[in-house]
Amino acid sequence: MDKGILKNVSINFIGLILPTFVSLVTVPAYIHALGVERYGVVSLVWTLIGYFGILDLGMSMAAQNHISKALASGDDAESARVFWSAFWLNLGTGIAGGLLIYFGAFVYTAYFTKVTAAMQHEVYLALPWLALAIPLANVSWVFAGAINGAERFGVFNTNQTIGTFLFQLLPLGAAWWIAPNLQTVLAAAVVARLIAAVMLGHASIKVLGIRRIDPPQWGTAKGLFNFGGWMLIASTTSMIADTLDRVMLGAGMGAKFVTYYTVPQNLVTRLNMLPNALVRTLFPRLSAVGRDHADALARQSLEFLNGVFTPVAVVAIFALGPFLALWVGADLAAQSAPVGRVLVISVWLVGQASVTRILIQSQVNPSRAAFAGLVQMPFFVGGLWLGIHYFGLIGAAVVVAARALVDYGVLLYLSAIRMRAIVLDMAAHLAFLLASLYLAHAWPGLVESIVICAVVLALNVAWSLTMTPGLRTLARGLIVRLNARKTV
């Protein structure tokens, strides 16, 4: 794989990890400063803002796709047209969304929440700030898409990391030094978002070499809508599918079993940071190059993901049981660990499917990927019902993993890539994961897990290096570089 792509994957991976650590550090401080009830309301507010990301209408990804193509062809004027068209469209939908969330949240708080009168008053005072957060988030996504479209991931992740620090620390400082109430915290959060948006906007204009403000071009906007609409359908379908297992478990088995399921699920989904970093890196490159080059990049990326992510998944399968026992206790771990191990395989498969999905979106037609998700949805719902009804927690996890496998297979077919070598490579690594699943269940003790994990890990790495020339070259280059550093 190209060294530039590997460098960008590393940059994006670090950019995804740092905000996670910041959140882990600041959450206890927020709870201490605000109290449990206020922090719960703040968490709901951030969740609500996340749902209103639908107002982006896929425009940030569409802008990223179009800008990468324009820059690849040397058309700076087209990249500027795309940037300003996406900016004005997202600003408009963001303002509309801000008004909607203001009045909607007012009605919801007044009639559908169970909070004290004092807390209700705080929510009302915070609503204007909440409304302002929506258009700020909307235009920030366009700025991010523009920078990523230019493949300036260092610039993007530097700005995003600074923005994350501001977003976590400014509201916390405001709660300590001004007042620990919702309106103060949300006002500080909006100020942090504003600073981050200005930084991203300045960086994107500088990266694209834009020198003036232009009105939206409706021909360009139409192309963005055509592409972004299908991206929106695909992301919405994925978002619904990602929550269906928990919703149907709660309806079918009760809240206690949702806890048994979500504790390991929330843990293992953190593993998807590596595939997400790869996908973020690949999308603009796949959009900019020709079909043959794109197919070669996709094959190399899937080989890389198998070789690097499979060992991580193997370790996760063996480590999950002992870690959960230490983290949440032996009783909950006994229920959750088998579920979590199956979900590790699901996360691994989703990572592979994501690479194939962006190949379709960038090179074939985004509508195909969207239709694939829509067609699978009723079968997924039926499978979940059967799995939960007859097999409980483990049934839900197996159906989720099976859906990921089917999704990957369908997307491979729709991508029209030569798939024989890809399928054989994937099947071999999947066999290692299934063997790990069985062995971790059969020998759950800590010492046995460590020994067996080391053996499986060694065998998997040996297989990857033997069967994948690209990984051999990468490993050889890494060893040479390390030896060179030792001799200096």
DSSP 359-418: HIIIII-HHHHHHHHHHHHHHHHHHHHHHHHHHHHHHHHHHHHHHHHHHHHHHHHHHT--
pLDDT digits (tens, 9 = 90+) for 451-486: 999 999 999 999 988 888 777 777 777 777 666 665
Write down the pLDDT at residue 130: 84
Judging by beta carbons within 10 Å of its beta carbon (0-12, 13-18, 19+), is residue 144 exposed, middle or buried? buried
The mean pLDDT of 44-66, rounded to a whole number, is: 78
Which residues lie closer than 8 Å to 174 by C-beta, 6 or more apart?
Answer: 184, 185, 187, 188
Task: Note the pLDDT tens digit of each residue in 208-222.
Answer: 999 999 998 888 888
Q: pLDDT digits over 350-372, tens only?
A: 999 999 999 999 988 889 999 99
Backbone φ and ψ for 159, nearest 5 degrees, come out as -65, -40
Measure the CA–CA gap between 280 and 275, rounded to whole angstroms: 9
**pLDDT at residue number 403:** 96
Provide the terminal-to-terminal Cα distance of the chain, rounded to the nearest Å.
Answer: 27
> What's the pLDDT score for residue 298?
92
- Region of poorest pLDDT, from 60-64, 65-69, 79-83, 254-258: 254-258
pLDDT (mean) for 232-240: 87
Rounded Cα gap, residues 131 and 84, in angstroms: 23
pLDDT the model gives residue 225: 86
Burial classification of residue 417, based on how many CB atoms lie within 10 Å of its CB (0-12 exposed, 13-18 middle, 19 or more buried): buried
Q: pTM of the predicted model, to two decimals?
A: 0.86
Amino acid at position 257, single letter: F
Residue 278 exposed, middle or buried by CB count within 10 Å (0-12, 13-18, 19+): buried
- How confident is the model at residue 115, as a pLDDT? 61
List, for residues 336-350, the tens digit of each pLDDT value: 999 999 999 999 999
The 10 Å Cβ neighbour count of residue 24 is 9
pLDDT in tens, 107-140: 776 666 666 677 777 778 888 888 898 899 899 9
Residue 104 has a pLDDT of 80
Name which of 243, 239, 248 is nearest 384 in CA terms. Answer: 248
Helices assigned H by DSSP within 52-180: 59-72, 76-111, 117-149, 153-177
- Using pLDDT thresholds of 50, 70 and 90, give the confidence band for residue 379: very high
Listed ranges 21-30, 176-185, 393-402; the one with the highest mean pLDDT:
393-402
What is the pLDDT at residue 47?
67
